[in-house]
Structure 1
Amino acid sequence: MTARPWVRVVVVTMNEGPLLARCLAHLCAQSDPGFEAVVVANGSDPAVLDPALPDDARVRVLRLPDNIGFAAANNRGADFGPDDTPPFLALLNPDAFPAPDWLAELRAAAGRHPEAAAFASLQRDAADPSVCDGLGDEMAPVGLVWRGGIWEPVPPLGTLVEGECFAACAAAALYRRAAWDAVGGFDGDFFCYLDDTDLSFRLRLRGGTVVFVPSAAVLHVGSATTGLDSDFVRYHTARNRLWLLAKDMPGPLLGLVTPGVVLVVALLLVRAARRGRLAVEARGVRDGIAGLPTAWRRRRAIQAARTVPWWRVAAALTWDPRRFARRAARRGRVRRP
């Protein structure tokens, strides 16, 4: 154990029980022991939470009486305890199980990329580790976001390339604490979903890049609490997409992509109607539109603090719609054997 931990790992949980126990067991078995952990019990039942907690002095618990959302709970965990916080902050979902060298590999990558504000992990499907759960998150200009390479076979060892992605999936990510503090962490109004994309976008606007680290691997169950493509997921994604674009997209790009955003929203509503889920998608769009004045007020401060030209943001986005259709990873992510 180092005298002062180099990283704080925040794990937000809401009654995951056995999954949380497995996550924390993997965390406590890291080859790099220089971490402290904060488990944020986000309205969790103590009878479910307490048996999952390890007997490890590095792990502290912040008990919240109510579920305040993934975004706000991570902010609370990041700020929990003394002001002398470590220079790095890692986020880990309770359904993500890191490899023994996960933290060590992220730490090494942070040394190789001093310009980067955030680092994304290689995510494998926990049910079938040969299947990819994400090679860093990517974003289309119209607000469609995906985990690169999801559902495809994990590329062979040695073919994955360390390098830039658009955003870090907060299921298993590392952030420089100074960069996190500069942008204020997550936007708590998002509650959950696309909050990590919004954070990475704001970090980019301040000049920070996001780097995918293939040697930092986790197994990820995915949507273990909220359900895969549930109404909860669809509502928050439909709502938060509008806030993400309104807040973060630089002016020249926002004017360019707005017609495409309107078209995408319409197409998603049509798809939802065909699947019998129009009500939840429409409610998300309605509440997203209702929240646009607040998002626009925040936009003023975000864009005033922007230090990079709009074309650098444009270059980081994925403009080819075929790549979204395939949920493709960023070009150059995989090197041919």
Structure 2
Amino acid sequence: MTNVPSVSVVILNWNGLNHLKQFLPSVCASTHPNLQIIVGDNASTDNSVQFIEANYPQIRVINNDQNYGYAGGYNEVLSQVKSDYFILLNSDVEVHPEWIQPVIQLMETDSQIAAVQPKILSYKDKHKFEYAGAAGGFLDIFGYPFCRGRIFDSVEADHGQYDDVKEIFWASGAALFVKRDKWIEVGGLDEDFFAHMEEIDLCWRLKNLGLKIMFCPDSVIYHVGGGTLNSENPFKTYLNFRNNLILIQKNRPFLHASVIIFCRLWLDLISLCKFLYDGKSRDAWAITRAHISFFKNIFKNAEKARKISTTNFNRAGLMNISIVWQYFVQQKKTFNDL
């Protein structure tokens, strides 16, 4: 037992009682021999904590005194966890009993591997990839994230086409394996993101140190998705547009970031007009608010960028293409078409 790396599966919960009831049994059936399961609670009001304490005495509960969001919530909780490996797991995920071992075995083979994600399939249709992560995340030249198995809203069926261990750019926060010492080295998640793309920012900061982010196909999970904010929520639109700009400003050299952000503002304007054309005025306003927030905090994020060294930047997974052009103009809908 002493030679087996210690692992903590950490589920951040906020009023997710129904998901806990449905998915905790599969997590508790995990077979890794040196495992601790933790639920970090973001001040829920739906009796989530009482349910866990009454039904799962083997689960450690860490209570936050308020809702710190995804990023802040995990930072608060993981500061109290001492395992060799963290697994940040969404509450709406079903797992196989042996889902942990393949990833840990991969991470143990290379000290440069900082984070890994499993294959993420849809809980609602287990033959298809799930939007949030699929078979590993990539970035295009303008900072747009996409995945093997999912580009924008086009999600592929899983036919084993991505069943190779591969270095990627970012690993999904739906099931994020990360080495504790690397988590500490980069300071965990950026709490100003609140939620959405904070895991991409974490992975980017790890890659700025020259470290690797990997995809492990031998571990498979099933994710419901949209458990906290559904895709039609304008607040999600706001977070995605704002956080994507912050992501670029923080992690690229100043001149490069400035050029990309200038281009992105025009591309965002096109998105805003499309929302208006489709009658989604709340989403259009969300983009405007995202830009206002970004510029309001531009000096704060510039200070963060100043502290991040990109000297050893690992470019693997950063693709020298425009995914917008490839997808909307050239009609390339799958990763293997790119």
Same fold (TM over 0.5): yes
Structure 1 residue 4 displacement after superposition: 8.0
Structure 1 residue 56 displacement after superposition: 4.8
Among all aligned residue pairs of Structure 1 and Structure 2, give the percentage whose two residues are the same amino acid.
23
Alignment deviations for residues 174-195 of structure 1 (CA, whole Å, 9 cap, x no partner)? 0111111111000001000010
Q: Does 1:279 align with 2:285?
A: yes
Rounded Cα–Cα distance in structure 1 between residues aligned with 2:79 and 2:57:
18
Alignment deviations for residues 96-123 of structure 1 (CA, whole Å, 9 cap, x no partner)? 1122111111111112333211101100
- The aligned counterpart of 2:67 is 67
Of the structure 1 ranges 184-193 and 113-122, higher mean CA displacement relative to structure 2 is found in: 113-122
- The aligned counterpart of 1:316 is 317
- The aligned counterpart of 1:244 is 247
Rounded Cα–Cα distance in structure 1 between residues aligned with 2:333 and 2:206:
23
1:217 match: secondary structure: strand
Rounded Cα–Cα distance in structure 2 between residues aligned with 1:75 and 1:327:
36
1:223 match: secondary structure: coil
Q: Decide whether the 8 Å contact of 1:18 with 1:52 is kept in 2.
A: no
Amino acid at match of 1:285: H
Structure 1 residue 57 displacement after superposition: 5.3
- Shift of the 2–98 alpha-carbon distance from structure 1 to 2, 3 Å rule, reads farther
- The aligned counterpart of 2:221 is 218
- The aligned counterpart of 2:231 is 228
- The aligned counterpart of 1:176 is 179
2:100 match: secondary structure: helix
- The aligned counterpart of 1:295 is 301
- The aligned counterpart of 2:203 is 200
State the aligned residue count. Answer: 323
Alignment deviations for residues 230-279 of structure 1 (CA, whole Å, 9 cap, x no partner)? 21210111111111111011346325534422322222222222232311
Q: Decide whether the 8 Å contact of 1:125 with 1:220 is kept in 2.
A: yes
Q: Does 1:89 align with 2:91?
A: no
Structure 1 residue 60 displacement after superposition: 0.9
- Shift of the 159–292 alpha-carbon distance from structure 1 to 2, 3 Å rule, reads closer
Give structure 1 stretches of 5+ with no counterpart.
333-337
Rounded Cα–Cα distance in structure 2 between residues aligned with 1:296 and 1:10:
31
Q: 1:264 aligns with which of 259, 267, 286?
A: 267
With normalisation by structure 2, the TM-score equals: 0.87
Q: How does 1:121-136 map to 2 (within 5 A)?
A: 121-133=118-130, 134-136=134-136
Q: Decide whether the 8 Å contact of 1:15 with 1:49 is kept in 2.
A: no
- Shift of the 48–258 alpha-carbon distance from structure 1 to 2, 3 Å rule, reads closer
Rounded Cα–Cα distance in structure 2 between residues aligned with 1:71 and 1:181:
14
Q: Decide whether the 8 Å contact of 2:196 with 2:240 is kept in 1.
A: yes
Of the structure 1 ranges 200-209 and 145-154, higher mean CA displacement relative to structure 2 is found in: 145-154
2:68 match: secondary structure: coil
- Shift of the 187–318 alpha-carbon distance from structure 1 to 2, 3 Å rule, reads same
1:222 match: secondary structure: coil
Rounded Cα–Cα distance in structure 2 between residues aligned with 1:69 and 1:192:
6
Q: Does 1:9 align with 2:12?
A: no
Q: Decide whether the 8 Å contact of 2:120 with 2:129 is kept in 1.
A: yes
With normalisation by structure 1, the TM-score equals: 0.88
Q: Decide whether the 8 Å contact of 1:138 with 1:330 is kept in 2.
A: no
Q: Decide whether the 8 Å contact of 1:2 with 1:33 is kept in 2.
A: no
Of the structure 1 ranges 266-275 and 254-263, higher mean CA displacement relative to structure 2 is found in: 254-263
Rounded Cα–Cα distance in structure 2 between residues aligned with 1:245 and 1:26:
37
Amino acid at match of 2:275: A
